[in-house]
Structure 1
Amino acid sequence: MLTVKILGSGCANCKKLEAIAREAAAQGNLAAEFVKVTDMKEIMAYDVLTTPALVINEKVVSSGRLPPTADVLKWMTAAASPSSAA
């Protein structure tokens, strides 16, 4: 199962990013746990300068923008494949 974290204060863009991520998981038929991270100390631990940010399996894949659903699906698929442990 993927762990997908949305880093941000809970603003409108953070909610949109979560919706995009959930849609991507649904499109790819991927099992994912969604976690909202709103604590600034936790967000800073990811070395992210701008929010919203998207973290898949502890890897920051996007920050400061709303990526297209297709991109998020690609990142999730790559993270879900066994060969992604490189």
Structure 2
Amino acid sequence: MQIKVMGTGCHKCKALLAATEEAVKSSGVQAEIEYVTDIIKIAETGLMSTPGLVINDKIVSSGKVLEAPAIAELIEKNK
């Protein structure tokens, strides 16, 4: 599973990254987490607002910081 947290390096983006790491750890899934800060790469995905969460090349959240349990649910749905 590949998970990308997309953002410009702001506080909210870093909070989403931390929550994503916590969700992966607690759910026990094998996942590669990538933190993408390059605005061109972010735009190429079609993400319109940051922070964004992409699981297996599918945008599952944009413009908000999710808590770890909500991210764990998204991981489960997008296995």
TM over 0.5: yes
In our comparison, the structure showing a higher alpha carbon Rg is 1
Note the 1:7-86 alignment, pairs <5 A: 7-80=6-79
* Distance (whole Å) between structure 2 residues aligned to residue 79 and residue 61 of structure 1: 9
Matched, 1:6 2:5: yes
Structure 1, unaligned runs of 5 or more: 81-86
Aligned residue pairs: how many? Answer: 79
Tell me the distance in 2 between the aligned counterparts of 1:68 and 1:34.
16
Gaps of 5+ in 2: none
Amino acid at match of 1:58: D
Q: Name the TM-score, length of structure 2 as normaliser.
A: 0.92
AA matched with 1:29? G
Q: Shift of residue 68 of structure 1?
A: 2.2
Distance 1:61 1:34 in 2: 14
List per-residue Cα deviations over 1:17-38 (Å, max 9, x = no partner). 0111111111111111111111
What one-letter code is carried by the residue in structure 2 that aligns with 1:12?
H
